[in-house]
Chain A
Amino acid sequence: MHELAPALKPYFNEETTEDILVIEGTHAASHAARLARVQAISAYPITPQTSIVELLSEMCATGDLDAQFIKVESEHSALACLVGAASAGARCFTATSSQGLLLMHEIIHWVAAARLPIVMVNVNRALAPPWSIWADQTDSLAQRDTGWIQFYGESNQEILDTILMAYRLAEQVMLPVMVNMDAFFLSHTAEPVALPKQELVDRFLPPYQPEFRLDVNHPRAFGGLAKPDVYMEFRYHMQQAMEEALQLWPVIAEEYKYHLGRWHGTAIESYRCEDAETILVTAGTITGTTRLVVDQYRENGVPLGLVKIRMFRPFPVEALRQALAQAQRVGVIDRNLSFGQGGIFYSELKSALYNGDHRPLLNGYVAGLGGRDVTPDVLAEIVEHLIHSETGQDLVWIGVKA
């Protein structure tokens, strides 16, 4: 390993790091899958996910990763393939984006209800028409009600670490996990990424030992017709698992920190929220830019803070209520849109606060759709609007041209 600059040492913990590579987010995801020792991969190419599967193909070809890689004929098949592989007891991985994710939708539901702990990376990309390959989170947020646990990442390192943690969580609660990264801002932006030592990953993430699988010695049928007298209980248990996931996630994050030396927060991360009167809420790569803006406002004496939502499902209601307990004004920045309603994180947060003790002024900002840059200036415009708001506004469009 190279000698690290002192400032990087806390982040790139030398004891736990095998190597540090300057790589794109897609490759961070590929390395995570390798380190998780996934056994079955199935994928279909779509920009900007392609580099994930290209590198995994390389790894399988060279033997760096001992996995079955089935190069299928559609995203629908990519995920359906993993339904079979995971049911047979394999640890599975796939990655997609945008239209591909939408094509998977039927099977996305299927995976969750079949209680298969598949981890999927989705590169958040805008939906057509018109064709767009740039960042937008509407694709994954449209999978909100499928029973998948969802994470949104800010950096390539976080993507890698989250994927490893995702397997732990998925296999503990037997629900699938979707790890989302913004198109190009992460997927195709090279950053230094510490690759943890394999033996430490192995210690953190033991081999997958399913309680149920397609076992010829113990034959069972999975997914057979359920009459009304049994169906509802299966759904109740999925919700229970979601709630358990919310409790488990901080524990897993702590364990990850213990074994691998890195911490990205729990379901959320609060940044400079102590005594903050105004707080911005973000998810994905807008977070990094927002940190800069928060720092700038803090230098000017404005008590601005940031809450980053990492985990979208299960939605961390209690953590958010606590993080926002002192805030007077909260602005949610959404790079996504639920037509006829507004930003989706905004809507979720508003709903989370309704039954809480504290209801701050809450604005919903929609910005950066289809990959439009959300620059520090754009964020400053949002902060100024928020600080000067007197009542909450559900939908504030940012940067729409006249």
Chain B
Amino acid sequence: MGHVLIDQEGKPVFAASTGRMEWNHTGSWRYMRPRYENKLPPCTQGCPTHEKIPQYFAQVKRGDYRGAWEIILEDNPLPGVCGRVCYHPCEDVCNRGEFDERIAINALERFVADQNLDRRYPASFRQPSNGVNIAIVGSGPAGLSAAYQLARRGTAVTIFEAAAEPGGMLRLGIPEYRLPRHILDKEIHDIQSLGVEIRTGQRLGTDITLEDLQNRFDAVILALGAYRGRAVDLPGRHLKGVRSALDFLRELNTHQPVDLPERVTVIGGGNTAIDAARSARRLGADVTILYRRSRTEMPAVREEIEAALEEGIDLKECCTPVEVLGDESVRGLRWIKTRLGEPDDSGRRRPIPIPGSEAVLETGAVLLAIGELPELESLPALGTTGSRIAVNDHYQTNLEGVYACGDVADGPVGTVVDAIATGKATALAVLHSLLDQKPAANQPPVVTYDQINLDYFRHQSRPALPHLDVRDAVQSFTEVNQTLSPDTAEQEAVRCFSCGTCIECDLCLIYCPDVAITRGSNGVPYVINYDFCKGCGVCVEECPREAMTFEEELSCTN
């Protein structure tokens, strides 16, 4: 039997299909166009160094800890340090906080760093020389950060450090129970591996001069930090036993013999105050902290304050010292209660002493932790804003080719991450100036909480961070906080909304009624086939994290 239902041209003679519908380019129906566009997560914006947090979380989720580390290293060479000591402003703005609890970003950063303690930078970090030769004064977080960003771009960097060992305040100010020195050493060593030369024992004004550096280098970055305790007008301040908290910490951290009485009083509410108090506690002292505002106004990291209280340190809120008592040595401290008035210039409420509320505290030492200022005597030619070096938006001082960053310069001061951020920005500004290397383009808009599609999330609490039992902790300078387990780290990375950052959750792919979305390759998660996309917008609407954009089809394409 021949063909009955096929004609001479081979076509069926009844309604039978011979092909599919791909000839029908339904993309011509579209008047709105979806596209993939990552937005700025609030954590990244909130982080002074703009660490790409959802991006490295994605690596943590897949167990690629090296990958995660390398993403952090784009912006910050000191994740082991920051993962321990950062005040993590990223967490304060975390969108997840409005849903249940903010993500433990700081703990995850530490986790990533700790997973990479045995790893070194990838070979790609060493770039051919760009011909630029930079001097940096100071090897604290700002100097190290600037050196790192410069060296990664092929710049020859020499750091001049006054102390015997590099690290600046990281080494001299921060106690070992918060930052074990092998972590710091490792990360400094990594930076040195890029060819950064660190010359220690080189004090500006004594061993080297700015003029000399200006002559020998294409540019000089001043990152000296701030070490001098702020002067205080307190009767009895010259008695033996009254000293700067930072000096106390520096002695302790350089392993000099430290002599402490039984009772110690720390004055101040910042991290230095807490560090000094907890260190004194470890040396066996009974410690009291006096702070003139209430606990909520204390600039120290919240968790540090809580740890101090747990360790049995007495915090006297809304108390201000009136006079140090004693003959030669300190015997006690008279203080007065305060109430909080209207906000002052810093935006915090001004403490006002309450008449008649004075009392006396017995103490053998008074450690002053009321802020530090840079020492600028060796740099008379530099313009200042009172106590710090004046810089413009490009971190340039009034001297040609001289830049300044970190606590020595005007700007955000007093925290490690701000120092790292300004170090990075200064490095980029230097290169921009010398090589015309343009900084990154404009940032996309920040993702707000109401842009998160909450239907795709379940409530889940933030993990408790592991730490030493307080009874053990106060016995030594062993690190108190411990690293997360890989399971907990993964769970926490998964808990992240990943605001504005595609995590390849596949919802766009699954919902597309037109089968117009396919998986991409070479790091591109998805590809939209505009031949078929009708522009219904379901993918954009359903994206849980605002990683897609829907915009008007302005012109006929293809």
Contact B17–A234 (Cβ < 8 Å): no
**Which residues of chain A (219-276) have a CB below 8 Å from chain B?**
220-224, 226, 230, 233-234, 237, 241
For this complex, into which size category does the number of interface residues on chain B fall? 10 to 19
Contact B17–A115 (Cβ < 8 Å): no
Contact partners of B6 in chain A: CB under 8 A: 211
Q: Main SS of the interface on chain B?
A: loop
Is B556's CB within 8 Å of the partner chain A?
A: no
Q: Residue of A at shortest CB range from B13?
A: A237
The 0/1 profile, CB within 8 Å of A marked 1, for residues 288-326 of chain B is 000000000000000000000000000000000000000
Contact A233–B13 (Cβ < 8 Å): yes
Q: Tell me the complex Cα distance, A222–B12, Å.
A: 10
Q: Tell me the complex Cα distance, A280–B255, Å.
A: 133
Q: Tell me the complex Cα distance, A115–B6, Å.
A: 12
* Closest beta carbon of chain B to A328's beta carbon, Å: 42
Contact B14–A114 (Cβ < 8 Å): yes
Known: A211-B3, A211-B6. A113 touches B16 (CB 8 A): no
Is A11's CB within 8 Å of the partner chain B?
A: no
Contact partners of B16 in chain A: CB under 8 A: 212, 220-222
Contact partners of A224 in chain B: CB under 8 A: 15, 17
**Which residues of chain B (1-59) have a CB below 8 Å from chain A?**
1, 3-7, 12-18
Contact partners of A212 in chain B: CB under 8 A: 5, 12, 16
Contact partners of A286 in chain B: CB under 8 A: none
**Which of B1, B14, B17, B18 is within 8 Å of A237, CB to CB?**
B14
Contact partners of A113 in chain B: CB under 8 A: 14-15
Contact A174–B18 (Cβ < 8 Å): no
Q: Residue of B at shortest CB range from A231?
A: B15
Is A173's CB within 8 Å of the partner chain B?
A: yes
Q: Tell me the complex Cα distance, A212–B13, Å.
A: 11
* Closest beta carbon of chain A to B310's beta carbon, Å: 69
Contact partners of B18 in chain A: CB under 8 A: 220
Q: Residue of B at shortest CB range from A209?
A: B1
* Closest beta carbon of chain A to B12's beta carbon, Å: 7
Q: Tell me the complex Cα distance, A230–B17, Å.
A: 12
For this complex, into which size category does the number of interface residues on chain A fall? 10 to 19
**Which of A114, A174, A222, A223 is within 8 Å of B4, CB to CB?**
A174
Contact partners of A74 in chain B: CB under 8 A: none
Q: Tell me the complex Cα distance, A220–B12, Å.
A: 11
* Closest beta carbon of chain B to A221's beta carbon, Å: 4
Contact partners of B15 in chain A: CB under 8 A: 113-114, 222-224, 226, 230, 234
Contact partners of A241 in chain B: CB under 8 A: 4
* Closest beta carbon of chain A to B4's beta carbon, Å: 5
Is A146's CB within 8 Å of the partner chain B?
A: no
Contact B14–A234 (Cβ < 8 Å): yes
Is A16's CB within 8 Å of the partner chain B?
A: no
Known: A173-B4, A174-B5, A211-B6. A220 touches B17 (CB 8 A): yes
* Closest beta carbon of chain A to B17's beta carbon, Å: 4
Contact B17–A211 (Cβ < 8 Å): no
Q: Tell me the complex Cα distance, A212–B11, Å.
A: 12
Contact partners of A233 in chain B: CB under 8 A: 13
Q: Tell me the complex Cα distance, A113–B13, Å.
A: 10
Q: Tell me the complex Cα distance, A114–B14, Å.
A: 7
Contact partners of A237 in chain B: CB under 8 A: 7, 13-14
**Which residues of chain A (191-231) have a CB below 8 Å from chain B?**
211-212, 220-224, 226, 230
**Which residues of chain B (104-146) have a CB below 8 Å from chain A?**
none
Q: Tell me the complex Cα distance, A115–B15, Å.
A: 9
**Chain B residues packing against A (C-beta within 8 Å):** 1, 3-7, 12-18
User: Given contacts A211-B3, A222-B15, A224-B15, could you give 19 more A-B pairs where the C-beta distance is less than 8 Å?
Assistant: A113-B14, A113-B15, A115-B13, A172-B1, A173-B4, A174-B5, A174-B14, A211-B5, A212-B5, A212-B16, A222-B17, A223-B15, A224-B17, A226-B15, A230-B15, A234-B13, A234-B15, A237-B13, A237-B14
Q: Could you show 14 A-B contacts with beta carbons less than 8 Å apart?
A: A113-B14, A114-B15, A115-B5, A115-B13, A174-B5, A211-B6, A220-B18, A221-B16, A222-B17, A226-B15, A233-B13, A234-B15, A237-B7, A237-B13
